[in-house]
Chain A
Amino acid sequence: MTAASLVVERAGPLVSVQDAGRAGAMRFGVPHGGPMDRLAHGTANAAVGNDPGAAAIEVSRGGVGLRAEGGDVVVGVVGPSFHVAVGGRSRASWAVHRLRAGATLEVRVRSDDRRGAASHAWAYVAVAGGVEARSWLGSRSTHVATGLGGALLEAGLRLSVSMGGDDPAPERLGAIPTPPRSGVDHDGQPFLRVVAGPQQDRFADGAMASLLDATWTVTDRGDRMGTRLDGPRLGVRDALSIPSSPIVRGALQVAGDGVATLLHADHQTTGGYPRIATVVDADLDRAAQLPPGTRLRFGAVHPEEAVALAREDAAARSAHLDLVAAPGRTLGHRLRRANLVAGVVLG
């Protein structure tokens, strides 16, 4: 058994260890947390043979540099629109790589993206065997604002690799199948589906119509708690007299000044700003990945549709993760087998 570890050479802000998150303590102010993009995180883990919910490294647009020590480390990287280098050589950003002892993995936002905005805001680095980090309330997810659980990466930090024993299967190296990205576009712009409410009564007449009619822009004021959106001001009634109320991930919260914020994994569990609508679970990963400058639209669905979407999405994710997890000799081999699996699951 190797005693390998990853030493952080550099880390941008908000680079942290995340596993599948922790449910059950929202009544004590603890959000579920976990990855901003759960599917990308699960994909990176499955590709190196881990449980999809294992602890892995979530990389912000600030990027990260990780050096292997004490042995080779096999990493699964899922970071489209990120530049990936292994030992100084440019490599695929959606693939499993072997990081030799002493070599460095670099993940940073591509500077050569001439289209302007990149397509993703978060990348994931999973390590075969998983990484060690503090468990809190049954989870190794980092609550970034407080540092509770997991680990916030900074230069000099050493993350032990909890390798299972044998050298990871060499056939896992190489490209990772791309996931079926849920959600739809509308006139070429991302389209996020929302369920109206729960506090529509706190808004001025016409606010819901404004939400659905407008084109919104993702601002650069965002973190793991939420992202402010640029668009029309949505009128709030009696903004100062609203009792604090429980909040979920995906909520569209509107402050007293009428500015809308989309809440993410580390959201406050209660708050006094009213919520006009909630993005459906099936679109949350995609919503979190929209980088600053992205223009998007919202469309309303009924609660029953949101539940149906969640079930379809869960089946598609499960089929995708099974495909990624199955070690095959070639990508084509894996894809052929997965089509059969997906056909059975999705019927």
Chain B
Amino acid sequence: MEPGDDTDETSDVRVEPVGSGALLVVLGTEQDEAVRGRVRGLDEALTAEPVPGQVEVVPALVDLLVVFDPLVTDHAAVAGVVRRRLRTAARPPRTAREHRVQVCYHERLAPDLAAVAEAVGLSTEAVVAAHLAGDYDVAMYGFVPGYAYLDGLDASIEVPRKEAAVPGVPAGSVIVARSQTIVTSVTLPTGWSVLGRSPTRVLRPDDDEPFLFDVGDRVTFERIDLATFERLGTGT
């Protein structure tokens, strides 16, 4: 198998070798619905019926990684199965699970709300309304365990990342940058803007299912006041 020239006759899919035990299946170049649907479809097909030697599958925005055990199989064999699945796995992606996540936008828990409002020329209430109006899509995980990138932020409240990261941003912070929002899973530095805090734990390390979301799920936010937030959890 030669890298780069392995083009599927029915599409512009590329299957690239990655080191000793993985393939990157590139399903398009644009982050549009069609490409995302193909990533999700292949993810489901490979998860439901793994390729022999498959270790795991990692879906992202326009591509998907298939990790395999090189003691069991090799790049060419896995690529062959993946290509057959692409031709036959025309199934529509599963019905997305829906999550409703509570957020408190009180100024005590939203250190950057005023700055974002000023940057985009809206009132803080309008920024909150725009954040609440979104119907978000779990685009992928990354950065650290439990960091789910949610797509679908209203363009009117898009802001760039800060010049420098702020240390110690608590777990549960609801943060935004560019077209995405995240409910943070752990306390870490971030250069994203903090709009509020959720009492919902998106990462529950001791649970049998520690991750609240899977890629492809839908998320909406529901506003709660400070008293409700404090009653539901400390958010720290």
On A, residues with C-beta under 8 Å from B are 23-30, 136-137, 143, 145-148, 194-201, 243-246, 248, 250-251, 268-271, 275, 278-282, 303-304, 306-307, 309-311, 314
Contact = CB atoms under 8 A, between A and B. Distances in A.
Nearest to A26: B58
A314 B71 contact: yes
Given A25-B145, A148-B145, A270-B140, A303 B1 contact: yes
Contacts of B214: 27
B55 interface: yes
Given A28-B211, A137-B210, A245 B75 contact: no
Interface in B162-211: 185-186, 188, 205, 210-211
B60 interface: yes
Contacts of A195: 17-20
Interface string B5-38: 0000000000011111110101000010000000
B215 interface: yes
14 contacts: A23-B55, A27-B59, A137-B210, A197-B18, A198-B24, A198-B26, A243-B60, A244-B61, A248-B65, A270-B141, A280-B19, A303-B1, A306-B20, A310-B21
Contact of B74 (A196, A282, A304, A314): A304
B142 interface: yes
B215 to A, nearest CB: 6
Contact of A29 (B1, B18, B74, B146): B146
Given A29-B145, A307-B75, 20 more contacts: A24-B56, A26-B65, A27-B57, A28-B210, A29-B146, A29-B148, A146-B144, A146-B188, A148-B145, A198-B3, A243-B31, A245-B62, A246-B59, A248-B19, A248-B67, A269-B141, A275-B18, A280-B20, A303-B20, A310-B21
A201 B24 CA distance: 13
